[in-house]
Amino acid sequence: MEILVLKEKIESLNPKVHSSLIRTLMVEYNRLISEGQASTSPPVVIEDPFTEMFEKAVQEINKHYIEEVVDHIETFHPELSQKTNEAEGELNEVWKRGLQGKATLEEFQEVLYQWLNLNLGGIEIYSRDHKKEEAHRNEE
Mean pLDDT across the chain: 83
Beta bridge pairs of residue 45: 2
Q: Which of 1-5, 48-52, 54-58 has the lowest mean pLDDT?
A: 1-5
Q: Who contacts 80 (Cβ-Cβ below 8 Å, separation ≥6)?
A: 73, 118, 121, 122, 125
> What is the structure's pLDDT at 2?
59
Inter-residue contact 57 to 116 (CB < 8 Å): yes
pTM recorded for the entire structure: 0.67
How does pLDDT run across 1-46, given as a tens digit for each residue? 556 666 777 777 777 777 777 777 777 777 777 766 544 555 545 5
Question: For residue 88, which amino acid is it?
Answer: E
| Greater pLDDT, 31 or 123 | 123
3-state class of 128 per DSSP? helix
Higher pLDDT, 134 or 1: 134
DSSP-assigned beta bridge partners for residue 2: 45
Confidence of residue 99 (pLDDT cuts 50, 70, 90): confident
Q: What is the DSSP string of 77-94?
A: -HHHHHHHHHHHHHHHHH
Predicted local distance difference test score (pLDDT) of residue 24? 72
Average pLDDT for 107-126 = 97
Q: Stretch 130-137: mean pLDDT, rounded?
A: 82
